[in-house]
A = this chain, B = another copy of it.
């Protein structure tokens, strides 16, 4: 698939069909992730590929709990009725886990280890683009408590579950979400 077609066509999908995603496609999506750049080529990512139904149900329960918590905390009305069923309905989910020790010079800076997160985010973007090129819908999901996800997946305390990437065939069309034009976002210093 053409690069620009993928970047432009990718949408956040929240409605999946139950058809499984093949291991071959999952592995190509993960390989795409690993070609992202990282500070000093530390490759600070690890992946948990979750197709097990019980684990997906547990993650759903946690996501729904977190949604209610966030609703109470924020008062954002949409969170009251926001349906996170896609968390259990997506046939596959990839947890992207970052290792804060695998980072660059940022570890000496004020905000502390951040580069590993940027690298993992670049890897996740590659995953979305790859998924789209295989005709799959995907979602970058972060509405969870890190401690709870660590416990469910058996992740050590020193590592950080940064995102769950939900994957599967789209159950419905997704409208294009508009972007502000580049010129509204850009200053040119010539």
Chain A residues with a Cβ under 8 A of chain B: 1-4, 6-8, 10, 12, 27, 30-32, 34-37, 39, 41, 43, 45-52, 55, 70, 73-74, 76, 79, 104-106, 108-110, 114-115, 117-119, 121-122, 124-126, 128-130, 133, 140, 142-143, 145-146, 153, 162-163, 177, 179-180, 182, 185-190
Residue of B49, B104, B153 touching A142 (CB-CB under 8 A): B104
Q: State how many angstroms separate the Cβ of A162 from the closest Cβ of chain B.
A: 7
Contact B187–A48 (Cβ < 8 Å): yes
Contact A189–B122 (Cβ < 8 Å): no
Contact A177–B41 (Cβ < 8 Å): yes
Q: State how many angstroms separate the Cβ of A129 from the closest Cβ of chain B.
A: 6
Contact A189–B10 (Cβ < 8 Å): no
Q: State how many angstroms separate the Cβ of A26 from the closest Cβ of chain B.
A: 9
In the assembled complex, which residues on chain B have CB atoms less than 8 Å from the CB atom of A121? 117-119, 121-122, 125
In the assembled complex, which residues on chain B have CB atoms less than 8 Å from the CB atom of A2? 1-3
Which residue of chain B lies nearest to A47 when distances are taken between CB atoms in the complex?
Answer: B186
- The distance in angstroms between the C-alpha atoms of A185 and B48, with both chains bound, is 9
Contact A126–B49 (Cβ < 8 Å): no
Known: A45-B185, A46-B187, A118-B140. 6 other contacts (CB 8 A): A8-B35, A35-B179, A70-B108, A74-B108, A121-B125, A122-B140
